[in-house]
Amino acid sequence: MNKESYKNFAYSLVKKAKVFVTSKDLFIFLFFLVLTTIMWSLQSLSRVQKSTIGIPLIYEDLPEGFCQSENLCDTLFVEVEGRGWNLLPHYFKSLTSNVDPIRIKTKSYSEGSNIVGTKKYVEDAKELLGSEISVLSVHPDVIDIRLSKIVSKKVPVALNAEIRPYSQYINMKPVLSPSHIVIEGTKESLDNIDTVFTVQSDDLFYDIKDVFRDSIDLDFGKHIVSSQKRVEVEVVVEQYTEKIIETVAINVVGVPSSQKLRVFPSTAKVICKTALSHWKDLGPSHFTLAVDYQDVDPKSDKVKIKVLQQSANAFDVKVVPETVEYILDDFGAQ
């Protein structure tokens, strides 16, 4: 078959396909395809099938002063048998997390470990699933209902957000009210918590150029409760400017007693940014500059200046010059 024959054959197939797609034969074909699928599905659903259904467990009616421990069994897996159309609604419920739970009363249980056989919940499962579905078995065979005494702890609260002020503005430290709250839960839960954060809320703090105030929910996670559900947040932003401090003394640190380190010049200039409200107050006493003996390189005649301490109201701090010349006197050599 030559090239022209292949071309004619392909053209013929495309032409027949177009005719088929635009003819009533396609609709007849699709009708019988759908009908066959429905009949097959009905036949399949009419058969008796075995399956496993997960039923959520909810622990309630706890003894006064107690709470459930972490990592309790939260699902009872039930092996069932029934016709497909009786099982189908439970499949849909499991996909949408809309399965009715088994509620376990815990008021009669004591502190610590309480081993309970799950066969006692077979009747609860039957009632939830209906009389058309047979319950064959449940897993796990036992569950450990651990109860712990409720303990409390006072912790600070913090904002879980990135504050992005408007250009040429700086945010001051956010103020949260209350600044501390009392949380309750198991000792194991509270031991892992040093701070309670607000829910993530970056979208609230974009291009701020004025005072921002809002009430934001707290995020406790699992097994932690508190009577305080929200905190009031205040964020103050302010324009910033550059501050130049002309003369800041340079100290020397880490020098052995047998040596003396001198630097030239003995002062440096500090350039930083600060909020307008702090511009006047910022001075040489708010910065500590130093040259460290450990940074001295005998192969170089200069050493880098370090910023050991700076004002909390200053940022983007630069030192000019970055390095100074030095002379190292060795008393032991005399």
pLDDT at residue 318 tops 70? yes
Q: Which domains does the chain have, with CATH numbers?
A: 3-45 (no CATH), 48-148 (2.170.120.30), 150-235 (2.170.120.40), 240-333 (2.170.120.30)
Q: Which residues of 286-325 are buried (b: 16+ CB within 10 A; e: fewer)?
A: bbbbbbbbebbeeeeebbebbbeebbebbeebebeeebbe
Mean pLDDT for 103-111 is 89
Per-residue confidence at 11, pLDDT binned at 50, 70, 90?
A: low
Alpha carbons 167 and 194: distance in angstroms, whole number: 34
Residue 78 token pair: 């039930």
Contact present, 234 and 179 (Cβ < 8 Å): no
Check residues 28 and 153 and name the one with the higher pLDDT. 153
Average pLDDT value over all residues in the chain:
85
Q: Highest-confidence range of 32-46, 76-90, 131-145, by mean pLDDT?
A: 131-145
Alpha carbons 157 and 180: distance in angstroms, whole number: 6
Mean pLDDT for 205-220 is 88
- Candidates 298, 304, 306; CA nearest to 259 is 298
Residue 22 token pair: 């635009």
- Candidates 162, 172, 230, 163; CA nearest to 196 is 230
Query: Which run of H or E residues covers position 112?
Result: none
What is each CA distance from 146 to 67, 69, 115, 119, 177, in whole angstroms?
9, 6, 8, 19, 35
Alpha carbons 154 and 160: distance in angstroms, whole number: 19
pLDDT at residue 128 tops 70? yes
* % residues pLDDT > 90 (the chain): 43
pLDDT at residue 6 tops 60? no
Mean pLDDT for 282-294 is 95
Tell me what pLDDT residue 334 has: 46
Mean pLDDT for 212-228 is 89
